[in-house]
Structure 1
Amino acid sequence: MAGKFELYKDKAGEFRFRLKAGNGEVVGTSEGYKAKASAENGIASVMKNAGDEGRYDFKEGKNGKWYFNLKASNGQVILSSQGYADESGAKAGTGAVGRAAVGAKTDDQT
């Protein structure tokens, strides 16, 4: 089941988006963008790159949790994950991003 992107403005006035799985769980969030069009380009980039395993970068945080970033072809981070208990959980999380992004609609809350 396809997920959805929620496009919103944060408290600082920047545009951000989060990707939610079909069950409503947030599977990734974006950085802040000054322009709405830039955030919309970020959404398009997530849709394009989510299925490419080579675009994910895995890291262990200082808190011991594992995270991943999805990067565009230019190396820019376009989506960051929540924390996972271990690296295998983070790697499984990339599958949730891929499934959610395919055919996802955008819910513009701006």
Structure 2
Amino acid sequence: MGKFVITKRVNGEFQFSLKAGNGQEILRSEGYSSKSNCENGIESVKRNSQDDSKFDRKTAANGKPYFNLKATNGQIIRTSEMYESEAGRDNGIESVKKNAPEATIEDQTA
């Protein structure tokens, strides 16, 4: 089972990462000014990750595939890492879909 890990950056911002059951990081968030905003970001990933239409499959100028996960209002929740292949990107999307909905939350800031 996947998990969201909440950490605090050196600048005081909160961030989360979604990790697969094997511990591999699937995606990492932006910085949030408060923990509650960070937790809202996690809930948004959980909710929106189940709708394939919320994943925009893109290719960067350097030719590397990546994806954006978008909220209902069209705002980008998170941009993925750059992948070496479209298959890698698609596997990343499937991993988010599989791990995010039931992922536990581990707060490492407490």
Fold shared by both chains (TM-score > 0.5):
yes
Q: Whole-Å Cα distance in 2 between the matches of residues 34 and 63 of structure 1?
A: 32
- Structure 1 residue runs of 5 or longer lacking an equivalent are none
Q: Whole-Å Cα distance in 1 between the matches of residues 32 and 81 of structure 2?
A: 20
Aligned to 1:83: 82
Q: Whole-Å Cα distance in 2 between the matches of residues 59 and 102 of structure 1?
A: 23
Q: Whole-Å Cα distance in 1 between the matches of residues 84 and 63 of structure 2?
A: 8
How do 1:90-101 residues align onto structure 2 when only pairs under 5 Å count? 90-101=89-100
CA RMSD after TM alignment: 1.4
Aligned to 1:46: 45
Shift of 1:11: 2.1
Q: Whole-Å Cα distance in 2 between the matches of residues 11 and 60 of structure 1?
A: 32
Does 1:70 pair with 2:69? Answer: yes
TM-score (norm 2): 0.90
Q: Whole-Å Cα distance in 2 between the matches of residues 39 and 32 of structure 1?
A: 8
Q: Deviations along 1:48-86, whole A, 9 cap, x unmatched?
A: 111111001122224432111111111222223222112
Aligned to 2:27: 28
- Structure 2 residue runs of 5 or longer lacking an equivalent are none
Matching residue's letter, 1:23: N
Total equivalences in the alignment:
109
The runs of at least 4 consecutive aligned structure 1 residues that moved more than 6 Å come to: none
Q: Secondary structure at the match of 1:57?
A: strand
